[in-house]
Structure 1
Amino acid sequence: MRDKIIHLTSGEIATLWTGYMNDSMSKCVLKFMLQHIEDPDIKPVVQNAYDISSSHLDSLLTIFEQDNYVQPNGFVEQDVNLDSPWLYTDLFCLSYINHIAKVGMVSYSGSVAMSDREDIRNYFTNALNESIELFNRSTEIALAKGVNARHPYIEVPKETNYVDSKKYMSGLNPLTQKRPLNAIEISHLYMNIETNTIGLKLCLSFAQTSPTKEVQDFMLRAKKVSQKHIKVFTDTLLENDMDVPEVPDLAISDSTTKTFSDKLIMFHMSLLMSAGIGNYATAAAASQRSDLMVDYERLSLEVSKLAKSGADIMIENNWLEQPPRTKDREKLARNKEG
């Protein structure tokens, strides 16, 4: 018990709510994966991810109770059908774990920075360290199996150089030759190929197994967007005589049995799209060729429009849980009695 009550700030309320929603969703997905994984090397890391999500939820519930913070609905056992057939290969599950660990590292580092109270900072610091360990462990397993998706190789620099022309930043003029990509630009292009590949496979699996036509149609639209973006990034690498490394075969089965609730899969896609927009913004800021900046900006707008249409579907079906917010003071003033 704390001797002095220190109320939660808006930043802490937001990050705790987000963490609960994400972990309750992850727990459902990971529990389903554990039903079917056979690889003795991969299953323990998926179990570890499941245990982490379960532990997070317990810790968050303790904080909620302590601070009289109403528990979000999030996602529960009814949001996953554990009796449905196999849907994801063991290798896909490994890649999925690696991906959510990356998302966790970004998310939890931001949550630490937005927290002031010691117990909240400690919680998110621990969650960040767990995400780092999960990423390292899943990467080591993928390397040992020879299925890790490696970024393209370039020659190691032997000398330092400075930019000697403003043309270094150009790239939009079709009449001039674009300079070769630098290492930073290559790394972001390839990372976004990876993340879109995982998103594409998830879209297919959700489209196959959702019984709702508007959700199926949305997932197929999202799949096409991912395919288009993969092609844009791949073509950019190929135009620069870069080999595009093989992304592991992230196969899914042909099951059409309902596996996850529509509420869960729409939330999952919303989370992926938010992460994707963040990745594109980071990539645009890090890229120094103007054509790449423009590509990331227009593709971000495309994802934002898709996310908006997904949110509309969630609102229409009462699937979109509202984050904590302030009271409408003007409304309270107008509606008060007397």
Structure 2
Amino acid sequence: MSHEMVKLSCAEISTLWTLYLNNSMSVYVLKYYLEYVEDPEIRKVIAEAYDIASDNEQEIKHVFWKEQYPLPIAFSENDLNLKAPRLFSDTFKLFYVLQMAKIGMVTYSGCLASISRKDIRSLYQTFLLKTVDVFQKVTDLLLEKGLYVKKPYTTIPSSAMMVESTNYFSGINPFVDKRTLNTIEVTHLSMNIETNQIGMMLSTAFSQSAMNEEVREYMVKVKSLAKNHIHTFIQTLTKDDVQGPMSSDFSITASTVPPFSDKLMMFHIGLMSAAGIGNYATAAAASQRSDLVIKYEKLSSEAALLAKEGADLMVKHRWMEKPPSTADRNRLAEKPQEL
């Protein structure tokens, strides 16, 4: 049986639906970025990211049409205001593309691993490879410009070592000294500082440009939470005399004119929150000191509660699309039979 004759599975439908919304949002964010970018090298990578998001959206749209599956509403020109003044610096845009490429690589690889139909696998593989290419180019450009936020360094050990005691995993017992952070833990703490910095800057920009008062208030809460989490991670590093990653000089302007609809901004923050919670789960699983695991669980709960508040707000204003669902057999059974 050819792959064209095989119906889309739940995994294939859900991933196509999710990726369509994500790429649709990215198209309009990157389109706005291109309106106000001065550095020609930064413009080039943003333009490439825009073309990829646009192509991906069209590829997924073609699959929906071919399968005669309802197309998600997603986003349109109504969610973009190209007449809005400059809101983000060029440097921030470059870091933004880097962060979205990281999210894209994780998302595409996860989607690829969950589906079986050959044509969809081929499609996701193409998406992943294009995203990896953008990640490489943005990283190279940041390094060339001296803007890349480098991770902390450490001394090189003289030899390989074994864990000699279960105290290695201690962290919450006040009667047992905490060991110093290992390089795996330092890496995750550093990465979560960087991602929260992007989230903090993005929510700051959205808080001053959103039209709806509830959205503005929500963005302020997101900004505050990101700032608190950054402080927690930096404090954890500095206790072990490890320097946290230093953010580069990226900024937002004082413009209060919204470049994006409130719907798009809320969706975007929801996407960033979901990615952040996923990062915390990965970090908790990789960390071997018990206090770090508990800390990540606490921060994840805080992020999840705030994300739920955002989802409620989106439902209230009819901004949230319902994901494809399975049939409600009980409800169908209650329906009067048609002759």
Q: Same fold (TM over 0.5)?
A: yes
Matches of 2:176 and 2:151 in 1, distance apart?
28
Matches of 1:250 and 1:195 in 2, distance apart?
14
Matches of 1:237 and 1:21 in 2, distance apart?
36
Deviation at 1:217, TM superposition (A): 0.5
**Residue of structure 1 in register with 2:255 after alignment:** 255
**Residue of structure 1 in register with 2:144 after alignment:** 144
Deviation at 1:156, TM superposition (A): 2.3
Matches of 2:84 and 2:4 in 1, distance apart?
50
The alignment status of 1:134 with 2:134, answered yes or no, reads yes
**Residue of structure 1 in register with 2:211 after alignment:** 211
**Residue of structure 2 in register with 1:86 after alignment:** 86
Unpaired runs of 5+ in structure 2?
none
Q: How does 1:291-310 map to 2 (within 5 A)?
A: 291-310=291-310
TM-score computed with the length of structure 1 as normaliser: 0.98
**Residue of structure 2 in register with 1:38 after alignment:** 38
Matches of 2:223 and 2:261 in 1, distance apart?
19
| C-alpha contact 2:193 2:245 (8 A) present in aligned 1 | no
Deviation at 1:3, TM superposition (A): 7.8
Aligned length: 337
Q: How does 1:259-274 map to 2 (within 5 A)?
A: 259-274=259-274
Q: SS at the partner of 2:176?
A: coil
| C-alpha contact 2:207 2:220 (8 A) present in aligned 1 | yes
Q: What letter corresponds to residue 52 of structure 1 in structure 2? A: I
The alignment status of 1:325 with 2:293, answered yes or no, reads no
Deviation at 1:302, TM superposition (A): 0.3
Deviation at 1:175, TM superposition (A): 3.8
Deviations 1:249-279 (A, max 9, x none): 2200110002111110110011001000100
| C-alpha contact 2:3 2:118 (8 A) present in aligned 1 | no
| C-alpha contact 2:34 2:43 (8 A) present in aligned 1 | yes
Matches of 2:42 and 2:25 in 1, distance apart?
20
The alignment status of 1:119 with 2:116, answered yes or no, reads no
| C-alpha contact 2:167 2:176 (8 A) present in aligned 1 | no
Matches of 1:168 and 1:4 in 2, distance apart?
54
Q: How does 1:16-27 map to 2 (within 5 A)?
A: 16-27=16-27
Counterparts in 2 of 1:3 and 1:87: CA distance versus 1, 3 Å:
closer
Q: What letter corresponds to residue 49 of structure 2 in structure 1? A: A
Deviation at 1:41, TM superposition (A): 1.0
Q: What letter corresponds to residue 256 of structure 2 in structure 1? A: T
**Residue of structure 2 in register with 1:290 after alignment:** 290
TM-score computed with the length of structure 2 as normaliser: 0.98
**Residue of structure 2 in register with 1:55 after alignment:** 55
Matches of 1:262 and 1:34 in 2, distance apart?
20
| C-alpha contact 2:23 2:57 (8 A) present in aligned 1 | yes
Q: How does 1:171-182 map to 2 (within 5 A)?
A: 171-182=171-182
| C-alpha contact 1:86 1:255 (8 A) present in aligned 2 | yes
The alignment status of 1:275 with 2:263, answered yes or no, reads no
Deviations 1:229-261 (A, max 9, x none): 000000000000011231112200110002111
Deviations 1:92-149 (A, max 9, x none): 0000000000000000001111111111000000111111111110000000000000
Deviation at 1:4, TM superposition (A): 5.4
Matches of 1:178 and 1:249 in 2, distance apart?
35
**Residue of structure 2 in register with 1:228 after alignment:** 228
Matches of 1:319 and 1:295 in 2, distance apart?
33
Deviation at 1:292, TM superposition (A): 0.2
Matches of 1:117 and 1:256 in 2, distance apart?
46
Q: What letter corresponds to residue 249 of structure 1 in structure 2? A: D
Q: What letter corresponds to residue 229 of structure 2 in structure 1? A: H
Deviations 1:57-104 (A, max 9, x none): 111111111111111010111101011000000000000000000000
Say which is worse superposed, 244-253 or 210-219, in terms of deviation.
Answer: 244-253
The two structures, once aligned, show a CA RMSD in angstroms of 1.0
Matches of 2:8 and 2:158 in 1, distance apart?
51
Q: What letter corresponds to residue 164 of structure 1 in structure 2? A: E
Unpaired runs of 5+ in structure 1?
none
Deviation at 1:177, TM superposition (A): 2.1
Counterparts in 2 of 1:4 and 1:121: CA distance versus 1, 3 Å:
closer
Matches of 1:4 and 1:81 in 2, distance apart?
39
Matches of 1:243 and 1:4 in 2, distance apart?
54
